[in-house]
Amino acid sequence: MIPYDAITDFQVLTSEDHELFRKVVRQFVERYLEPRVKEIEETNSIPRDLFKLAAENGFMGLGIPEEYGGQGSDYLNVVIYTEEVSRVCPAFSTATLARGLFTTPVLFFGTEQQKRNYIPPLARGQKFAAHATTEPGAGSDVAGVKTRAVRKDGGWVINGQKYFITGADKADYFVVLARTSDPPSRHERWRGLTMFIVERDNPGLRVGERIQVTGLKGSMPSEVILNDCWVSDDAVLGELGEGFKVAMTTYDYGRVGIAAQAVGVLQGVFEKSLNYAAQRVAFERPILAFQAIQFYLAEMLRDLEAARLLTYWAAHLLNKGLDERSIIAASLAKLFATEAAERASLRAIEIHGGMGVAIDGMVERFLRDTQIMKIYEGTSEIQRLVVIRHLVRKVLGFEV
């Protein structure tokens, strides 16, 4: 069963508490979020009061240990929240959980001081945060980051441009990846990068225009410009020159959240399609009576449950710790679930006929949202690379 070691690696442990929590999120979604989805789509923004309500329900503290003001770091709870929200509005899960790309590296690599300073206000939903790695010239190729930080006045001066930064428009804190030294060799391009924490009120940091993208309306990313942005040594997150590792660990944890978004989309479009097929009449019969439609629905359900099991399994392995097993599982889950969500969204459009492509039908938006899920936190091609690299390392003991 390579690359796994034992049957026990395939456990998915869900509990009554998880189900109770799911019901709480469902209630929140039905009561507060669902009635606002159209408004979010049309205005391309998420009303502030929804963030406040999410914080009051403790959702901003998911995945964060209680000692730093969070609800505990059970990744299955993060997955359940993300899935339930994304069933109705994937953009809201992006907007509320983007801060995970800040809290994860701080929790794993930060000093105690950094954790105490930054995590509790984020867990309480009083502050927001963003993760700034991508640049116009470096996305998948994180080691190609051109932003530079050089020594000055006992600290660092950062200069560069970051692109596609989710939540930058309202973020109070950023993690920023910058090159602090040249790589020692062509084969070690990833060395010499350092992650920094930069606060919004730093005069050297400016949030530029929002970038209009095809989906996830309400959670548009922005450009972030660093112009002679001075930070002290206290802003260094993790080891100097080891920022690549900080970024990769962040994505190893984050991917399971994107897989969960895709599971939510699969659930949402499946339910919509089933209901529509049962009530839409053509040729004097509900279209659900046609075998073609029945087969579409059966295939959607197959993909939904397979994606859900992969995602819960990856979350369970992450709960046990970050290793080759959980990293491979999280990448498999993201790869499968996002591609399955794309297929299911297309099918949903077909089942809905003209209403499938009508903007007011509120179905086609899921297809637009899935295009982003397939890209951020590593494209499908990058997930395949992650899987094969970790597989070869674990099973054969060398690097490819």
Ligand X SMILES: Cc1cc2nc3c(=O)[nH]c(=O)nc-3n(C[C@H](O)[C@H](O)[C@H](O)COP(=O)(O)OP(=O)(O)OC[C@H]3O[C@@H](n4cnc5c(N)ncnc54)[C@H](O)[C@@H]3O)c2cc1C
User: Which range in 71-79, 129-137, 256-264, 357-365 contacts ligand X by CB under 6 A?
Assistant: 129-137
Interface pick for ligand X out of 46, 372, 373, 387 (rule CB under 6 A):
372
The answer to whether 237 and 110 are in contact (CB under 8 A) is yes
Active site residue 377: yes
Nearer to ligand X, 74 or 242 (CB): 242
Q: Whole-number minimum distance, CB 144 to ligand X, in Å? A: 9
Cα–Cα distance measured from residue 384 to residue 378, given in angstroms and rounded to the nearest whole number = 10
Q: Sketch the per residue contact string, 147 through 186, with ligand X: x for CB under 6 A, - otherwise.
A: -----------------xxx--------------------
Q: Whole-number minimum distance, CB 328 to ligand X, in Å? A: 17
In angstroms, what is the C-alpha Rg of the chain?
21
Cα–Cα distance measured from residue 176 to residue 53, given in angstroms and rounded to the nearest whole number = 29
Q: Whole-number minimum distance, CB 112 to ligand X, in Å? A: 26
Nearer to ligand X, 266 or 372 (CB): 372
Three-class secondary structure of residue 160 per DSSP: strand
Question: 29, 21, 11, 125: which is closest to 80 by C-alpha?
Answer: 21
Cα–Cα distance measured from residue 260 to residue 373, given in angstroms and rounded to the nearest whole number = 10
DSSP per-residue string spanning 222-252: EEEEEEEEEEEGGGEESSTTBHHHHHHHHHH
Contact set for ligand X, span 300-339 (CB under 6 A): none
Q: Does 379 bind ligand X (CB under 6 A)?
A: yes
Interface pick for ligand X out of 68, 81, 92, 376 (rule CB under 6 A):
376
Q: What are phi and psi of 167, to 5 degrees?
A: 75, 5
The answer to whether 54 and 28 are in contact (CB under 8 A) is yes
Nearer to ligand X, 125 or 215 (CB): 215
Q: For the chain, give me the number of helices (H) and strands (E)?
A: 13, 10
Q: Whole-number minimum distance, CB 238 to ligand X, in Å? A: 16
Nearer to ligand X, 125 or 221 (CB): 221
- In the numeric block, which tokens belong to residue 163? 């692109």
Q: How far is CA 142 from the centre of its chain?
A: 17
User: Which range in 139-147, 149-157, 260-268, 293-301 contacts ligand X by CB under 6 A?
Assistant: 139-147
Q: Does 103 bind ligand X (CB under 6 A)?
A: no
Amino acid code (one letter) for 307: A
Q: How far is CA 244 from the centre of its chain?
A: 18
Nearer to ligand X, 347 or 374 (CB): 374
- In the numeric block, which tokens belong to residue 370? 């899935």
Q: Does 225 bind ligand X (CB under 6 A)?
A: no
Q: Which of 16, 66, 377, 381 is catalytic?
A: 377
For helices 291-320 and 243-279, angle between their N-to-C axes, nearest 10 degrees: 150
Q: Whole-number minimum distance, CB 101 to ligand X, in Å? A: 6
The answer to whether 326 and 314 are in contact (CB under 8 A) is yes
Please count the residues of the chain: 400
Q: Does 221 bind ligand X (CB under 6 A)?
A: yes
Beta-sheet pairing, 148-152 with 193-199:
unpaired
Interface pick for ligand X out of 126, 294, 381, 396 (rule CB under 6 A):
381
DSSP state at residue 172: S
Nearer to ligand X, 277 or 333 (CB): 333
Q: Whole-number minimum distance, CB 145 to ligand X, in Å? A: 10
Nearer to ligand X, 105 or 378 (CB): 378
User: Which range in 40-48, 83-91, 126-134, 189-197 contacts ligand X by CB under 6 A?
Assistant: 126-134
Q: Whole-number minimum distance, CB 12 to ligand X, in Å? A: 28
Nearer to ligand X, 83 or 223 (CB): 223
Q: To the nearest 10°, report the CA torsion of 380, 73, 50, 205.
A: -70
Q: Does 139 bind ligand X (CB under 6 A)?
A: yes
User: Which range in 150-158, 264-272, 281-289, 379-387 contacts ligand X by CB under 6 A?
Assistant: 379-387
Interface pick for ligand X out of 133, 326, 345, 370 (rule CB under 6 A):
133
* Site size for ligand X (CB under 6 A): 21
CA triple 362-364-368, angle to 5 deg = 120
Residue labelled with tokens 């929590």: 21
- In the numeric block, which tokens belong to residue 182? 């040249």
Question: 175, 181, 182, 193: which is closest to 235 by C-alpha?
Answer: 175
Q: Whole-number minimum distance, CB 168 to ligand X, in Å? A: 7
Q: Which residues are catalytic?
A: 377
Under the rule (CB under 6 A), what is the footprint of ligand X? 130-134, 139-141, 164-166, 213, 221, 372, 375-376, 378-379, 381-382, 385
